[in-house]
Structure 1
Amino acid sequence: MKKVLIISYYFPPSGGPGVQRVLKFVKYLPEFGWKPIVLTVKDGDFPARDESLLKEVPVDVDVHRTDIFEPYDLYRKLTGKSKTTAVDVNNIDGGSKSRLSDKLAEFIRATFFIPDARIGWKKHAVREGKNVIDAERPDIIFSSSPPYTCALISMELKKYAEKKYGKPMPWVSDFRDAWTDYLTTPNRWFLPKKIDRKYERTTLDIADTVTIVASGMKDDFERKYPEVSAKTDFALLRNGFDSDDYKHTTVSDAKNDKFTIVYTGSMYGKRNPYYLLDTIAELVTDGKVDKNKIKFIFVGRLGSEIIDHINNSPLKDSIEIVSYVPHSVSIDYLMKADAMLLLIDEDKYSKMILSGKVFEYLGASALTGKPVFAIAGEGEARDLLIETKAGVITPHHKPDALKENYLKLYNGFFENNTAILPASDKKAIEAYERKLLTKKLAEIFDKILKN
């Protein structure tokens, strides 16, 4: 069986959306002739932990865990945050830093941690990666970013293997998010920004294939580095859902007492429910919606500013906040929802945002027939919902359209009128099964080796 060395910071017991892509590749690659060998961290400062995901790692997969220097404890102390504060939710929220300590901490992060705060893993990972290469002689290297440090680790290991063994070591660099000048990119001054962009450009230049979850990423790379991108082998490999994740639950005939919309995942910064909640509050004021008959369940980690908004909302009593739960439990919430809320950030990069969340929504929708209630502008998320016929889509800044779409579902719920629900295209949704997507990845590996 051919071997692939997989380099990923996010791996069980890490929780959150970042872990699912690599975990499912590891799960299914052996079925397509590839033995995964995982290089990850020993004690990562993950935004969320989900010990239950360890059970999904096949017992015969070798997982190499190394030390890492994590700067976030220092970051929290400097900004006065508690040790349990999730960094991605309350520390790096893209512009709400008003205190001097927050600004200083952000300056340090943007200046010295390039390409990201996981750079303290590189030395340890490269050392262990060389040992793995010498012992296992993998046929290919696969890295998943962010963190983009994974790309730097892979780049160095590729060079090491080629120099020592005198033959090409193919490297597939996978991107779940765009790199520089993106939503989550620190606001760097010119020198660290130049270094970061050099890393990004070199990755495109050296990687044998670059896999991306959204086609807009290719457009972004081509805009920034047209000459290099013209020679880069890009492959679109979407996120997806694993039907195995839904087998522990069933579709219930029991109806909710209240019209219930569920959101799973993190909310912070521009990804917030303000527009939705404020608009629905107007429907309550107008007497078109009874706030005692509606419910919003937000499952995941919320930024402090979002919690403040909820606490001051007229709909406060209709909102349930559930802190981070194991992945299987989050699926349970989706299966019981009357609609699943998708919020696409309003940003210049919104068109390329296509999170793993929407695919898990689609997996639930195919089973329950319940829609994705999306607030999204033009872009790949909207296109996906149109393709699968699984969504009710409202653009930003269109409160009348939002009211109309919400009332249609709200009234239909109490009238038992399922005819108003979109009839999702199950065949189109099945194309995003994780197993099928892993088969595509294996085909990419095989193609590289043949060339």
Structure 2
Amino acid sequence: MEQNPGMRKILIISPHFPPSNLAGVHRARLFAHHLPAFGWQPIILTVHEKYYEEKLDWNLVKLLPSHLQIEKVRAIPVKPLRIVGDIGIRGFVPMLQKAIQLIRKEHIDFLYIPIPSNYAALIGRLAHEFTGIPYGIDYMDPWIYRPSHSLRWFSKAWFSLRLAHVLEPIAVKKAALITGVALGYYEGVIRRNPHLQKNCVLAAMPLGGEQDDHECIGTLHSRPYLFHKREDKFQLVYAGVMWPPAFQPLERVCAGIAHDESIRRQIEIHFIGTGKTPDDPQGYQIRPIAEKWGLWQQCVFEYPARIPYLDVLVHLQAADGIFILGGTEPHYTPSKVYQAILSKKPILAVLHQASTAVQVIRESGAGIVLGFNGEAGLTQIEQQFASSCADFLAFARQFNPNQVNRTVFERYSAREVTRQLALALEEVFRRKT
């Protein structure tokens, strides 16, 4: 890409990047797409796809800007012997070396690292020590989190969490910018490192939806293949990972369905890409709960393996509605809600009542929400889900996507989210002068 004299340069370290099919790649992809409109020339630093463990999705590469500069490095392979899996560890040294080289050669103005992989955040601190580059860390998930259950001593998760308590303060100590998909994703970081409150810029930027992605589907001529249209069933789709705080609400949803024969006869919920790992077709997490309540393959279905991103959008468009499930923690952002709006489908949501998505759905007229008050409100889900579902089916019969108040969602577009990032970057440099 030719340098525009009026543009600053930003190096984005994203160890996974298209053709990786992991959900996290879209954060860096969409930033790279829209940053030039706000005066920033992006350069992507990633690990070469031959070192990825997940299946590759080459259609994602078609969504990248044609002139985007992408730098790829090697990593420790996982075959024939898998010593470590995390791409941020396997590619850490090559990414650090390449980052320092690019900072000096390309005269990079800012270094930005979306996490996970969490370990890649340390590259920002080290690159700053070597070159003086200002850097920022973007939290797509909390690095340090409250486990949903007691961790077994000396287990992998136990070690990872304790290591996080050591490494995160090192990574963020000299950060000039801390961002996240919602305040709840990084407020713990600020609480544990209070100097950041005055020493760096803070910004919450939700995951953005991209209209162009949905329009691209038509050029691929793809059809849904996980389920087929049924006239006697209202088919809902939940697409994406299941995070631990959502399992208790899911249990109550299944209990509510099991206790109402009418709802069981009318709906199907298809869970896509909800498995324990991205590529394991047998990594069921929804199925055991559905079987417990006698719903499996009657009205609850699960396809554990992650499917290509554009195929997900095809299935969203083929569905009658979108099912959104939050957790006992309120930190659920409306990114999936925006994807549902772009798919022009009505939404049935079960969310913590403190989630910002609740107000967004209700104000926009995009769907029906059953709000609950964390763990204390789980019984409420079981008692009220059937009636909420009946209300939703009545709502869906008269749903007109053109009547949804889309202005409510404007701040969740990828372009607007990137504009928020650009404003935060401007504030970083304003403080430096």
> Structure 1-normalised TM-score?
0.76
Residue of structure 2 in register with 1:353 after alignment: 332
Change (3 A) 1:223 1:139: closer
- Tell me the residue number matched to 1:178: 142
Q: 1:267 and 2:242 equivalent?
A: yes
User: Who is 2:281 aligned against?
Assistant: none
Correspondent of 1:283 among 244, 250, 260: 260
1:205-284 equivalence runs, <5 A: 205-248=173-216, 256-267=231-242, 269-272=244-247, 273-284=250-261
For residue 23 of structure 1, report the CA deviation from its aligned partner: 0.5
Alpha-carbon separation, structure 1, partners of 2:79 and 2:181: 28
SS in 1 for 2:33: helix
1:159 aligns with 2:129: yes
Partner Cα separation in structure 2 for residue 220 and residue 73 of structure 1: 39
Shift of 1:402: 1.1
Q: CA deviation at 1:429?
A: 1.0
User: Following superposition of structure 1 onto structure 2, how do residues 52-451 of structure 1 map, counting pairs within 5 Å?
Assistant: 52-69=59-76, 118-162=88-132, 169-183=133-147, 195-248=163-216, 256-267=231-242, 269-272=244-247, 273-284=250-261, 288-289=262-263, 291=265, 293-303=266-276, 304-311=284-291, 313-315=293-295, 316-322=297-303, 323-346=305-328, 350-354=329-333, 356-364=335-343, 367-368=344-345, 370-386=346-362, 388-394=364-370, 395=372, 396-398=378-380, 399-411=382-394, 416-418=397-399, 424-450=404-430, 451=432
1:283/1:73 CA distance change after superposition, 3 Å: farther
Q: Tell me how far 1:228 sits from its aligned partner.
A: 4.0
In the alignment, is residue 19 of structure 1 matched against residue 1 of structure 2?
no
Q: How many Å apart are 1:4 and its aligned residue?
A: 1.0
In the TM superposition, residue 249 of structure 1 has moved relative to its aligned partner by 5.3
- Name whichever of 268-277 and 210-219 sits farther off: 268-277
Report how far residue 424 of structure 1 moved. Answer: 3.7
Q: C-alpha distance in 1, partners of 2:80/2:405?
A: 46
Pairwise CA distance, 1:8: 0.9
1:31-66 deviation digits (Å, cap 9, x = unpaired): 222211111111344555422111122232221111
Q: Deviations over 1:285-322 (max 9, x none)?
A: xxx3352x422222214243433333454332333434
Q: 1:197-236 CA deviation, whole Å, 9 max, x = no partner?
A: 2422233321111111111234322332334444332112
Deviation sequence 1:354-391 (CA, Å, 0-9, x none)? 37433322433xx34x1242343433443443454434
How big is the alpha-carbon RMSD for the aligned residues of Structure 1 and Structure 2? 3.3
Runs (5+) with no aligned partner, structure 1: 78-108, 163-168
Of 355-364 and 240-249, deviating more is 355-364
The number of residue pairs the alignment matches comes to 392
Range with greater deviation from structure 2 (336-345 or 11-20): 336-345
1:178 maps to amino acid: P
Distance (Å, rounded) in 2 between the aligned partners of 1:393 and 1:442: 33
**CA distance change for structure 1 residues 187 and 14 in 2, over 3 Å: closer, same or farther?**
farther
Q: Which amino acid aligns with 1:242?
A: E
Q: Which moved more, 1:177-186 or 1:324-333?
A: 177-186
In structure 1, what is the equivalent of residue 280 of structure 2? none
- Give the AA of the match of 1:363: L
Q: CA deviation at 1:135?
A: 2.1
1:344 is displaced (CA, Å) by 1.6
| Equivalent pair of 2:179/2:186 in contact (CA under 8 Å) | no
CA distance in 2, matches of 1:313, 1:422: 37
Q: Classify 1:379/1:274 alpha carbon distance in 2 versus 1 (closer, same or farther; 3 Å).
A: same
- 8 Å CA contact 2:367–2:395 kept in 1: the answer is no
Whether the 8 Å contact between 1:204 and 1:229 is mirrored in structure 2 is: no
> How far, CA to CA, are the matches of 2:363 and 2:127 in structure 1?
40
SS for the counterpart of 2:72 is strand
Deviation at 1:129, TM superposition (A): 1.5
**Normalising by structure 2, what TM-score?**
0.79
Q: Is residue 3–residue 34 contact of structure 1 (8 Å, CA) maintained in 2?
A: yes
Change (3 A) 1:220 1:290: closer
1:247 Cα deviation after fit = 1.4
Select between 120-129 and 372-381 the one with higher mean Cα deviation: 372-381
1:176 Cα deviation after fit: 0.9
Paired amino acid for 1:352: H
Q: What is the rounded CA distance, in whole Å, between the counterparts of 1:34 and 1:264 in structure 2? A: 32
Structure 2: runs of 5+ lacking an equivalent? 219-228, 277-283, 373-377
> Matched residues in 1 for 2:162 and 2:388: separation?
45
The one-letter amino acid paired with 1:299 is I
Greater displacement, 149-158 / 260-269: 260-269
The question of whether the paired residues in 2 share the 8 Å contact of 1:16 and 1:265 is answered with no
Flag the 1:343–1:49 CA change in 2: closer, same or farther, 3 A: farther
